[in-house]
Amino acid sequence: MKLNYKKTIGLGVVILITLLVWIKWDIWFYNPPEPLYSPSANPGRIMLTWSGNSLNSRDVTWEGDTSTHVGFLQLSNVSIAGDTILYTTNSKIIKTAGGASAFFKVQIKALKEGETYRYRVANGKIWSDWAQFKIAKSADASYSFLYFGDVQDTINGVSGNLFQQAVEKRPNAAFMMFIGDMIERPHDAYWAEWFRSGGNLFRTIPVIATPGNHEYYKSLIGKLDPRWMAHFSFPQNGPKNFLGRACYWDYQNTRYISIDSNGIQSIPSALEQRSWLKSVLEASHQRWIVVMMHHPPYSTSRGHNYFFLRALFKPLIDRYNVDLVISGHDHAYGRALHIENKILNNKQGAAYVVAHASPKFYEIGFSDKMDKLASNTPSYQLFDVSNDSIRFEAYTRNGICFDGFTIRKDANGLRTVKEPSHPNNSDYLKPTELFLRKSSKKEIEKFYRELEAWEKSKKNL
């Protein structure tokens, strides 16, 4: 009897797992076939990044068709007539189910602080237009950068408008930060859409990024789209199995650390990134430390809870007094300034920001950790960094500043935060149209009860 009982339980577990896999198959494992594509012979997808010293180097990557095996980059210093250098590079062919492309990369070294440079690239004899960039000075402690959460737009989408708006507000931005899920899925057409949205901006403003789940092919063990490594020339200073995905950049007085949260697919991969992060934080002597990861340690969306990220990384964020944690994934905006530092109890905890720039909206989860929330609108974010402060502003697609804060740090490293008066806007706290269509009356009523309770709890912030 006992044996039959155990068999019944075991059979029930197998049936439940099979049913769950069947229901979730498309979400967990299905990759739609990639449409056929054929790259142009002209240089395309030209991007400016850096993998070395931010004050004397830049990397340029671009794409072409597979008929061209040699690429060129021509560089000139704007202030020195006739100062032109020619770089030569061989192509790297990347093949996918939809086609093949040739990718080129040049690392430009020995650049001079404060100077402006012009460059253009070529696939064989076909040259691009000229673009230019400027190298900062080491004495310039103040700078700005632009932050975009998930872009994940449709073909011929409108996300490029957000990029343009952000640059118009900070035309001298040092770089653009993307927090993963720049594309809807790992198809060449969606990469083309993201580059179309960026236009010439990606050629003139360096890009740093961390990968999201939509840059991965779905499977039992997800695989990163090989075009990620081809498009982004990032520092090779990450853990052995995450080179080019997890890494860190030093810019002026700040260390930016990218964690590949979607790459955490096993205990060994989790421990590898945790051990690496610990070593990087221990060796950091910069004034500010910023950690970026696609999945947020504290979620803004209903039903999401990334407890494993908190268990892995929150103790390190607290112990090494990280200033700012930037995330995406949840397609709903959230900001938290009052999450305690559980290790250094007398210290102001890190600021946590979750944002997205996508036309796709997820339902808000009314976490008591979040001081500000917003859904039903894409947003872009601006950071102004100086030796004494980090100032943050968040804008809607209509150009309305709906949130902001300032982190200040004194000479002894003591951090405080100040929140300007940006009350939670009820227009951005409503349920999405999709939620209203698919939910029962009881579920909708529960949503509004949770909203009311959360708003009451935040009135004194």
CATH code of the domain in which 328 resides: 3.60.21.10
Tokens for 89, please give them: 């590079």
- Non-local (6+) Cβ contacts of 37 within 8 A are 98, 99, 188, 189, 192
CA dist 384 and 390 (Å) reads: 6
Which residue range is the domain that position 56 belongs to? Answer: 44-134
Whether the pLDDT of residue 442 is over 90: the answer is yes
Q: Is residue 12 very low, low, confident or very high in pLDDT (cuts 50, 70, 90)?
A: low
Residue 18 pLDDT class (50, 70, 90 cuts): low
CA–CA gap between residue 224 and residue 218 (Å, rounded): 9
- Per-residue pLDDT at 201 exceeds 90: yes
User: Has residue 355 been placed in a domain?
Assistant: yes
Residue 109 lies in a domain: yes
With a cut of 70, say whether residue 461 has pLDDT above it: no
pLDDT at 13 over 90: no
The pLDDT, as a whole number, for residue 25 is 44
Q: Name the band, by pLDDT with cuts 50, 70 and 90, for residue 137.
A: very high
- pLDDT for res 335: 95
Nearest to 177 by CA among 207, 205, 140: 207
Q: In the prediction, which pLDDT does 309 show?
A: 95
Close Cβ partners of 286 (under 8 Å, ≥ 6 residues apart): 250, 253, 254, 255
User: 61 and 24: one domain?
Assistant: no
**What is the reported pLDDT for 425?**
80
185 and 301 co-located in one domain: yes
Provide the mean pLDDT of the chain.
92
Q: How many domains in the chain?
A: 3
Q: What does the alpha-carbon distance between residue 80 and residue 90 come to, in Å, rounded to a whole number?
A: 28
Final residue before a domain boundary, out of 104, 134, 164: 134
* φ and ψ at residue 431, rounded to 5 degrees: -65, 155
The answer on 156 and 92 residing in a single domain is no
What tokens does 341 get?
């530092």
Q: Given this model, what pLDDT does residue 303 score? A: 83
The least confident of 217-221, 224-228, 433-437 is 217-221
The Cα–Cα gap between 388 and 259 comes to 26
In-domain check, residue 459: no
Global pTM reads 0.92
**Closest listed residue to residue 320, CA positions, set 355, 356, 360, 279:** 279
Give a yes or no: residue 441 inside a domain. no
Mean pLDDT of 209-226: 92
| pLDDT surpasses 70 at 27 | no
Helix, strand counts (H, E) of the chain? 9, 25
